[in-house]
Amino acid sequence: MLWDPGTMACILLLKFFLLLTLAATSQGNRLGPTSRLRYSRFLDPSNVIFLRWDFDLKTEVIVFELQVRTAGWVGVGTTNRYTIVGGDLVIGGVLPDGNVYFSDQHLVDEDTLEEDGSQDAELLGLTEDDTYTTMRFSRPFRSCDPHDQDITSDTMRVLTAYGLDDTLKLRRERTFVKSIFLLQIFHPDDLDFPMDTMIHDLEITDFLIPEDDTTYACTFLPLPIVSEKHHIFKFEPKLIDHNESMVHHILVYACGNASTLPTGINECYGFDPAFSLCSQIIVGWAVGGLSYQFPDEVGISIGTPLDPQWIRLEVHYSNFHNLPGVYDSSGIRLYYTTHLRKYDMGVLQLGVLTFPIHFLPPGAESFMSYGLCKTEKFEEMNGAPVPDMKVIGYLLHTHLAGRALQTVQYRNGRQLRTICKDDAYDFNLQETRDLPGDVEIKPGDELLIECNYQTLDRDSMTFGGTSTLNEMCLVFLFYYPRNNISSCLGYPDISHVVQELGEEAAESPMDNLMVMNNVEWTPENIKTAEKACKEARQTVMLKTIDVRVPQITPSQTGAGEWDGVEKRYVGILSVASVETTRTVESERASLDKQAELSSENRQNGELALKPEAQTMSTKFTSTSTDQQLSANALWNQALVCNDISLSGDFSKSFS
């Protein structure tokens, strides 16, 4: 039967609207009163409050289901970093006669609730049984109500509270705030595993946590021994009960396939440089994080001649209460399979070089630090052509002063995109996050890491370093296909900053930092220093995973003997090519002035600093004299690894 064009158009239009209706119905069911919600978390230390949630990015609607072990009222909402006053809270409960009450409210003070003028939450279900009160509702990401906070992809402070009866009164012992990535893309609950999934634990065994504020404990462990290629597809922290608050982060670094590595457990960045070998992070977990499963197309390769056989496990402990006699066996659990994914995954470390040359002035409401990565030398350092890198996820990392981070991509002098960011960063929640879609990085692109800090609670300078009381500005990008570059870190010309502050610049970067200790840090000087850091030329340091790992024979002192460690300069590239030779020589002279590698210390693996450099390193690390990772270990890493420095005009990244 033939249809005329008008009838055919009507039929097609009817089918189109039918498909839209079915799609809307399907979406409604997914976030409906009885649908399964993909994400969940306990929100209090006693596991009394359990939150499930799900969201739709297209319709910008989020659904919460709060289940609390109480016969009284329950509430959930969001608040800001500093106070719960002004936070929004959706409350509900079931009266003794079976009637329900439900309301969108906000906190007038820490004890009092007030109903919003605009009710923007829609009740989907509210029940009470002998054990739980359960409330499910939806709300838009954004509303016109000034008392409602927007739901964003930043870290959200989720506010929860409950009562023992139906009297709406806040009690501090039943009010909690927990940081969560509500709009997370990664690891929904109960993901399927391959049938042949195997488990391998990497852990520190019975380690006595020192009574110091900060300890970086390292040990070398083998990866799973397999006869053919496998892929690691998931990892999760393995924490010991009652020690969770002392474990700040756990990192797994891939090592070159050396015949012998140190044994035992030692300080990662102390006076035995053997324990700071290996710089390629393959797995990272930090406080507040959960498990992480890679997307279906990528995995970490193990079992081939090109893959690492050993790793360095680093556990960062924060024992602020100086507790004695605490033993720990924390680590990382790996899940791996013979069901290979399409691509091998790599991790690229970006940001500001972790060294005292990274500084924060005291008393700053906001202070920005910048670390530049120029990828134009990736192919030379990689030893082979570097294909486009497709970024699938990221992990952000600062210490206590950090407030926000972002990674901005530039191409041919123009800003291309912001790859990742968090404007509400929380030190207590650091975990790997997936991107909504792959982001492509091409050779020649520039990546700028921006970190925002607040130091209102500090009356002295804060410097870059490994202690929790020092600072870092790092972003780890998870990407495929893997190449040989492990890190790309930048730091500004500190002499330019000193000059902009009206001080006389010294030759040595460390001397310039001494000068900055004498600066009166007024709001004007803070902004001047921030602007100078942004405009200063940056030196960019690249590292590859193929660091020459020496053969180390363990000794009674733990230092061991190094076989053939050598200082190697790959080169320095200036923006103006006519300056290249002079820049290389001046940089070599600067580095040699900071550190000398004597023949005696070459054998035991130590990088001997001149006395003045040793004194400076003590001043610019943590206030704890027991934790002096100093220029010794950091310069050692910078010199013995295959590094290349690129002097670039940082201001051009912003044109």
3 state SS of 29: helix
**Max CA distance (Å), the chain:** 97
Ranges of beta strands (E only) in 379-432 are 389-397, 402-411, 414-422
Tokens representing 641 are 């690894």
Residues 6+ apart with CB under 8 A from 223: 200, 302, 307, 308, 309, 310, 311, 334
* Distance in angstroms (rounded) separating the CA atoms of residues 107 and 89: 7
| Spacing of C-alpha 356 from chain mean position | 20
| Placement of tokens 């990528």 in the chain | 298
Residues 6+ apart with CB under 8 A from 124: 32, 33, 63, 136, 137, 138
Residues 6+ apart with CB under 8 A from 438: 390, 391, 392
| Placement of tokens 């730091």 in the chain | 491
Torsion angle in degrees (nearest 10) through CA of 241, 247, 253, 258: -70
Catalytic residue from among 39, 106, 162, 216: 216
Give CA angle at 623 (620, 625), nearest 5°. 95
Contact 547, 278 (CB under 8 A): yes
Contact 477, 439 (CB under 8 A): no
Give CA angle at 406 (401, 411), nearest 5°. 145
| Placement of tokens 């390292």 in the chain | 218
Q: How many residues can be counted in the chain?
A: 655
**Residue type at 260?**
T
> Distance of CA 184 to CAs 151, 249, 433, 512, Å?
11, 20, 7, 43
What sign does the CA torsion over 628, 400, 171, 70 have?
A: negative
Bridge-based pairing of strands 538-544 and 643-648 is antiparallel
The candidate with the shortest Cα–Cα distance to 58, out of 16, 100, 13, 28, is 28
For residues 27-64, one letter each, b for 16 or more C-beta atoms within 10 angstroms of the residue's C-beta and e for the rest, the string is eeeebeeebebebeeebeeeebbbbbbbbeeeeebbbb
The candidate with the shortest Cα–Cα distance to 301, out of 251, 226, 237, is 226
| Spacing of C-alpha 76 from chain mean position | 27
397 among known catalytic residues: yes
Catalytic residue from among 397, 399, 453, 480: 397
HEC profile for 492-523? Answer: ECHHHHHHHCCCCCCCCHHHHHHHHCCCCCCH
216 among known catalytic residues: yes
Element (H, E) at 627: none
The candidate with the shortest Cα–Cα distance to 346, out of 488, 241, 452, 507, is 488
Tokens representing 643 are 């590094």
Contact 237, 330 (CB under 8 A): yes
Contact 312, 332 (CB under 8 A): no
Q: Which residues are catalytic?
A: 216, 397
